[in-house]
Amino acid sequence: MKEMMDSDAQIEIRLTPTLRDIPSGEWDACACALGTRPLDPFTTHRFLLALEESGSIGPGTGWQALYLTAHQGGQIIGCAPMYGKSHSQGEYIFDFNWADAFTRAGGQYYPKFQIAVPFTPATGRRFLTREGFEARAMPALVQGAVQLASEQGVSSLHVTFCTEAEAIAGKEMGLLPRTTQQFHWENHSFEKFDDFLASLTSRKRKNIRKERAEAQGFGGQIRRLTGNEIEPHHWDAFWQFYQDTGRRKWGTPYLTRSFFERIHETMRDDMILVLAERDGRPIAGALNFIGEQALFGRYWGCVEDHRCLHFELCYYQAIEAAIGLGLPRVEAGAQGEHKLARGYLPQACHSLHWLADEGFSSAVEQYLKAERRAIGEEIEILTGYGPFRNATQEEQD
């Protein structure tokens, strides 16, 4: 455990290599109000601890835990999930080109520090602060992280999938802001799936109905399970799905089998598992996590290929679930312009970066300015191609 002191506010910053040494109540008092569903289930003590204790992060994975905590008055007032990284895998806001450029210039890009939720491209607070301590805790955590990065001689510090408010505050503290994009579905007070369909152009509405009918005609049934409806044997099937997807996308799966066992014990009330079954045997599935303001689509896989089943399990079932739960949006994970035709519109995602080398930092800053303009233009263009009716089309309907 490393300690440092913010002398102005008398805030003590600690660095802890395992979440087991940080009480869950103290961490979650910053990550989410106790007794309520968290805004971001991925920054809860139970989710991060499952990553650690399952061996999904730690020795041999390239993700070394370095949890930051800010202490004042005998309590934790802020914390951040920070990791030492020896590669750039599993981040989804990619810096491979930065690493390549820095290496070609004679620098050593790895190791680096990453404040993030491993393998999870979902927006949420990265500087977790206890209510009432926001103005003190976040600056102390940022200062502590940068100071540690400088002292340890790492090339850089990255804060990925942070909130827009954190991005604005971080920029004022001297970090470099970056904008990328994802596709999210917004719930405009829909009471049922047909209400969502009614908001689309006639052609897109017909296409979705056709896709759903084709997917649901695979010869079995589709079920959404949550809480105690999810049984241990369901994870045996889902592990096969996840392994298949992991091999095709990343070469090897990021998560271990033990991870799913642990979240079954601690988080099954925070999950919706969508399964396609035929003759009682699951043949495909999608896993979602429930936040206070969003449903987060995370993992999908199958052992049989059926036309449109991916769209049904990952996107349309998620929309139906969000409507049923009264959630404002669905975040369906990274990438995928194919989501546009299915009602998921582009949204800006934010990250923050600190680079130790001043010359390299200046070059990246110029790159990020150009990238932000390009992303802004792309979001505007893609939104215009969205499936929703405009005023003229509403009059014609």
pLDDT tens column, 112-130:
999 999 999 999 999 999 9
Q: Above pLDDT 70, what percent of the chain?
A: 94
pLDDT of residue 130: 95
Pick the more confident residue, 271 or 389.
Answer: 271
Q: What is the mean pLDDT of residues 271-290?
A: 96
Alpha carbon 174 to its chain centroid, in Å, reads 24
How many whole angstroms separate alpha carbon 63 and alpha carbon 143?
A: 22
Alpha carbons 144 and 16: distance in angstroms, whole number? 13
Q: Is the dihedral of CA 259, 290, 83, 106 positive or negative?
A: positive
Please determine whether the domains at 2-180+348-384 and 188-327 fall in the same fold group of CATH: yes
Q: Per-residue b/e over 84-116, b at no fewer than 16 CB within 10 Å? A: bbeebbbbbbebeebbebbeeeeeebbbbbbbb
Is 209 within 8 Å of 193 (Cβ atoms)?
Answer: no
What per-residue confidence (pLDDT) applies to 5?
A: 55
Q: Assign 391 a pLDDT band (cuts: 50, 70, 90).
A: very low
* Residue-range domain boundaries for the chain: 2-180+348-384, 188-327
Q: Mean of the pLDDT values across residues 152-173? A: 98
Measured at the alpha carbon of residue 354, what is the angle toward residues 349 and 360, in degrees to the nearest 5? 110
Is a pLDDT exceeding 80 seen at residue 247?
no
CA 393/CA 388 separation, integer angstroms:
9
pTM: 0.94
Q: What is the pLDDT of residues 28-45, one digit of tens each?
A: 999 986 556 888 999 999
CATH superfamily of 188-327: Gcn5-related N-acetyltransferase (GNAT) (3.40.630.30)
Residue 140 has pLDDT above 80, yes or no: yes
Tens digits of per-residue pLDDT, 189-227? 999 999 999 999 999 999 999 999 999 999 999 999 999
Residues of the chain with pLDDT > 90, as a percent, come to 88
The pLDDT score that the predictor gives to residue 393 is: 47
Planar angle of CA 335, 339, 344, nearest 5 degrees: 105
pLDDT of residue 389: 86
pLDDT value at position 392?
A: 43
Half-sphere exposure of 287 (CA within 13 A, CB side): 24
Averaged pLDDT for residues 323-346? 92
Is the predicted pLDDT of residue 8 greater than 60, yes or no?
no
pLDDT at 165 over 50: yes
Q: Measure CA of the first residue to CA of the last residue in the chain; give whole Å.
A: 65
Mean pLDDT to the nearest integer, 353-382: 97
- State yes or no: pLDDT of 253 exceeds 90: no
Mean of pLDDT values over 266-289: 96
**Token code pair at residue 384:** 């215009």
Q: What CATH code would you report for 2-180+348-384?
A: 3.40.630.30
* Average pLDDT score, the chain: 93
- Report the distance separating Cα 41 and Cα 132, nearest Å: 21
Position 34 scores a pLDDT of: 57
Cis peptide before 111 (omega within 30 of 0): yes
Note the pLDDT of residue 38: 85
Band (pLDDT 50/70/90 cuts) for residue 396 is very low
